[in-house]
Chain A
Amino acid sequence: MLAAVGGAALLAGCGASGRGSPKAPATNRLVLQAGAAPSSGECGFGELRGPQRGAGGATTAPSAGTYTYDLSGTETVPGTGQRRLPATSTSLVTPTARSQGVSCFGVHSRYSDRFSTSRVYLIRGDDVYIAASGFDTPNFVATILPRPAILAVAGAGTRWSGAFGGRTSGTYSVEILGRRAIAVGGQNVKAVELSSTARFRGEVDGTQKVDTWLAEGRSLVLREKSSSDLRFGGATERLSYRVSLRSLTPGGAGG
C-alpha cells in the first residue's frame, strides 16, 4: 500500500551530539552543503558490494531546495532550561548522487538557532535508509553512522525493526499507521503515516519517537511530530516539536 514512500522518520529532528565531543570538532559534524550532493564517503558508496537491486524502484528523492515548515515545540538544553521553538523551521534538501543502483541525498533541518540535524538517505528500489545522522546542539556535535543503515521506509510490509552498530549502536522499530491525502499549499498529496521509535546506546544514549506523514513516492516529510530525549555524557537534551510543510515547491536551488 505504501507505494514507494520516501523520506524518513527515524532520527528526524534529534538534537544532540556526541559524548565527549564538545561543540566544534569538525570531524564529528556531518556537513551538507546547499546545491551539492553528499560526498561519496558520506553516502557510503565505497561500502557497497557491487550493484544493488531493490524491489519496485519508483521512489525518488525530493526536489533539491529549501522547504519551509510551520513549527511548534520546545527545546531543553542543560544549563539554559526549556525554551519555545520559533514559528518556522527549514529543511535543506541536497541534490542526489547515484552509484550502483543506489540514490543518495542529504537533508539538513534547522529547528532553532541552536538545534539542527543532518541526515544522509539512501534509496534502493522502494526502500529508504538512513546512512548517517548528525546532530548539532549548543553543547555537542555528533554524527551517527548506523551499520547496517537504518531502514526508514520499507517498500514491502507495514512493520519492521532492526538494529545497528557503530560508535553509537541502537535498535529501531517502524510501523505504517495509515494512508490518506494531506493538503499542502492547496494541493492534496497522498501520504503515508509512519510511527517510529529508536533507542541509542554509546556516544549518544536515549530514545526518540517520531510520527511522520510522508509524501508517497517522494521522500518528503509533509508533517511530523517528534520527541527525543538524548543524553550526551551526563547531560540530557530534549527536543519536542511538530512541523507542517507549507509548500511542495522548495525555495533556493538545492539548499
Chain B
Amino acid sequence: MAEDRGTGAPRSPAVRRGGDLQQGLLRFVGALAAALVALLIMANILLLQLVDQGTSPKRRPASSAQQAGNSQLLPPPTTGTSNRAAASEADRLTRTLTRHLDGLQSQLQPLSAAGASLGSLPAATSSIAGNLQALATSGNVFGTQLQSTNGGIAITNGQLRQVVGGLDAMNGALGATNATIASVRENTSGLKGSLGTLNATIQSLRDQFQALDREFALYFRIYCATLTPRPSGCP
C-alpha cells in the first residue's frame, strides 16, 4: 500500500484519488507548457513552408544557363512568393499566436493552483482525474505533433490537419472534464468554490484553444490562397 511521505501513514483512497487528480493536472500543465513552446516555434517556421513546394524559385538556373553556353553571369531572377513578404506575414501571425499563448499561460496558473487545492477530494472526483489524464494525453499528442513540425520545414497539409485534430481532441477532453465537474458540483456543495474556479478556467482554456483552432484554419487558408501554383491537398 502506498504511504504518505514523511509520516509513514497509509494513504487513504480519497487522498490517493486527489493525488491522481493533482498528478493529472500537473501532467496536463506540463503538456500544455511543451505545446506552448512548440507552438511558438511552429509559428515562426510555419510560413516558411508557404513558399515551399509550390513556389520553389522558378529560376531554371542550370538548364537555361547551360543552354546559353554558360556565358551568362546571372541566371533569371527568382520569382514567386517573396520570402520578405512571407517573413512579414509570419511575424504578424507570431504576434497573434503569442497573444493567445500569453492568455493560455495566465490561465494555467489558477488551474495549477486549483489542482493543488483538490488534494482531498471525495471519490466522486476520480472521474475528473481520469478526464484530466486524458487531457494530458491529448496535450502530449498535440505537443508531439507540433514538435514534429519543427523537425523539418516540410510540414504537409495533412500534418496541419493533424494539429487541428489534436486541438479538437483537447477541446473534447476539456468538454468532458467540464461536464464531469458540472455533475460533481451539483452533488458536492462543499467543493463548489474550487470546482467553480476550475470550471471557469477550463472554459477559458476551451475558448483559447478554439481561438487557436481558428488561427490554424486561417493559416491553412493563407497557405492555400497565397501559393501559386496551388499545392496539392488544398481545397
Residues of A whose CB lies within 8 Å of any CB of B are 1-5, 44, 47-49, 52-56, 58, 102, 122, 124-127, 129, 131, 147-149, 151, 154-166, 171, 175-180, 216
Contacts and interface: CB of A to CB of B under 8 A. Distances in A.
Contact of A47 (B52, B61, B71, B84): B71
Contacts of A175: 153
B140 to A, nearest CB: 24
Contacts of A163: 61-62, 65-66
Contacts of A149: 73-75
Given A129-B74, A155-B82, A178-B44, 15 more contacts: A1-B48, A1-B50, A55-B77, A55-B78, A55-B82, A56-B82, A125-B77, A151-B61, A151-B75, A154-B78, A156-B79, A158-B51, A162-B62, A178-B45, A179-B48
B40 to A, nearest CB: 10
Contact of B57 (A156, A177, A178): A156
- Counting contact residues on chain B (CB < 8 A from A), the size range is 35 or more
B65 A148 contact: yes
Interface stretch (B15-23, B85-93, B102-110, B195-203): B85-93
B148 to A, nearest CB: 15
B83 A52 contact: no
Interface in B91-124: none
B90 A179 contact: yes
A156 B78 CA distance: 6
A155 to B, nearest CB: 5
A157 B56 contact: yes
B70 A165 contact: yes
B82 A164 contact: no
Contacts of B47: 1
A155 B59 contact: no
B65 A151 contact: no
B73 A44 contact: yes
The CB with the most chain A CB atoms within 10 A, among B57, B66, B71, B72, is that of B57
B77 A179 contact: no
Interface string B189-215: 000000000000000000000000000
Contacts of B90: 1, 179
A147 B82 contact: no
A165 B66 contact: yes
Contacts of A102: 74
A159 to B, nearest CB: 5
A165 B161 CA distance: 44
Nearest to A158: B52
Contacts of A52: 74, 77
Contact of A157 (B51, B73, B84, B88): B51
B49 interface: yes
A148 B77 contact: no
A3 to B, nearest CB: 4
A49 B15 CA distance: 82
B178 interface: no
B59 A154 contact: yes
B138 interface: no
A154 B83 contact: yes
Given A56-B84, A154-B83, A175-B153, A160 B77 contact: no
8 contacts: A3-B85, A148-B61, A151-B57, A156-B78, A163-B61, A164-B61, A178-B45, A179-B48
Interface string B27-45: 0000000000000000011
B89 to A, nearest CB: 8
Contacts of B70: 147-148, 164-166
Nearest to B62: A163
B80 interface: yes
